[in-house]
């Protein structure tokens, strides 16, 4: 029984071909394509408004040098939200529950922010490893601690996204299984459990959007330190 709960996180295959590639391509197919007309439909207008507000809020405290990342951040935000939301549908697979995928997104982007800082302002980037006014005996210890915290950042990004989505999916499956088992035995309790399942699903929808936003927000904060 315990193994069956974790079967939903296994990458499905068909004729030996991993279907995770299809799951990664599908969100881009679902996005509406902008047209050359002056007036767009409501869906395109809502999508444009969302991207505009998101990029404005994300890049407002950042220097103009970091505005070049606007397209990347907006695309990553839409991509993660789409993957997380599609994974809540029945009989679907959520690629963002795979730690390997999340680390594959987190490590290169974090490394790019570090390389940019080391290239354009190495003094300021290295200055983050030693806070101002540190007592002399604590300097070696703080440098080691700040260096470790710097290298933990991509791991924290990947693990946070994986753990939150995995925990939500497991909790939904556990409560759904309990409601199914209790239905012939205690219908009243089963109805209450189903109501809890509905509320938990709404919460998981919010978590799916919030975790995508937190992932991109932390990347923008790392970039802000280095530009």
Q: Confidence class of residue 157 from pLDDT cuts 50, 70 and 90?
A: very high
Residue 1, in any domain of the structure: no
Residue 220, in any domain of the structure: yes
H-helix segments, 38-186: 42-59, 70-86, 99-120, 122-127, 139-182
Residue 195, in any domain of the structure: yes
The rounded mean pLDDT for the chain is 84
* Residue 3 pLDDT exceeds 60: no
Residue 200, in any domain of the structure: yes
pLDDT at 137: 82
Q: Confidence class of residue 9 from pLDDT cuts 50, 70 and 90?
A: low
**34-52 residue pLDDT tens:** 667 776 777 788 888 888 8
Residue 176, in any domain of the structure: yes
Residue 214, in any domain of the structure: yes
Look up the domain containing 137 and give its range: 7-226
Q: Confidence class of residue 121 from pLDDT cuts 50, 70 and 90?
A: confident
From residue 167, give the alpha-carbon distance in Å to each of 78, 164, 172, 208, 223.
22, 5, 9, 12, 29
Q: Confidence class of residue 1 from pLDDT cuts 50, 70 and 90?
A: very low
Q: How many domains does the chain have?
A: 1
Crossing angle for the helix pair 20-30 and 70-86, to the nearest 10 degrees: 110
**83-112 residue pLDDT tens:** 888 888 887 788 888 888 899 999 999 999
* Residue 206 pLDDT exceeds 90: yes
Residue 2, in any domain of the structure: no
Residue 177, in any domain of the structure: yes
């Amino acid at each position: 029984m315990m193994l069956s709960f974790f079967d939903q996180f296994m990458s499905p295959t068909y004729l030996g071909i991993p279907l995770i590639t299809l799951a990664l391509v599908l969100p881009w197919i679902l996005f509406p394509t902008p047209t050359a007309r002056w007036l767009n439909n409501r869906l395109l207008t809502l999508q444009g408004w969302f991207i505009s507000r998101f990029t404005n809020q994300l890049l407002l405290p950042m220097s103009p040098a970091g505005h070049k990342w606007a397209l990347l951040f907006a695309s990553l935000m839409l991509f993660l939200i789409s993957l997380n939301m599609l994974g809540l549908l029945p009989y679907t697979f959520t690629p963002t529950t795979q730690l390997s995928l999340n680390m594959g997104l987190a490590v290169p982007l974090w490394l790019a922010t570090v390389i940019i800082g080391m290239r354009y302002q190495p003094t300021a980037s290295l200055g983050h490893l030693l806070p101002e006014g540190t007592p002399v005996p604590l300097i070696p210890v703080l440098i080691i601690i700040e260096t470790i915290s710097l290298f933990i950042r991509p791991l924290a990004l990947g693990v946070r996204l994986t753990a939150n989505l995995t925990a939500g999916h497991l909790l939904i499956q556990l409560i759904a299984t309990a409601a199914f088992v209790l239905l012939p035995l205690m219908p009243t309790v089963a109805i209450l459990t189903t109501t809890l399942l509905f509320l938990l699903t709404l919460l998981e929808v919010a978590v799916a959007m919030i975790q995508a936003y937190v992932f991109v927000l932390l990347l923008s904060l790392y970039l802000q330190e280095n530009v």
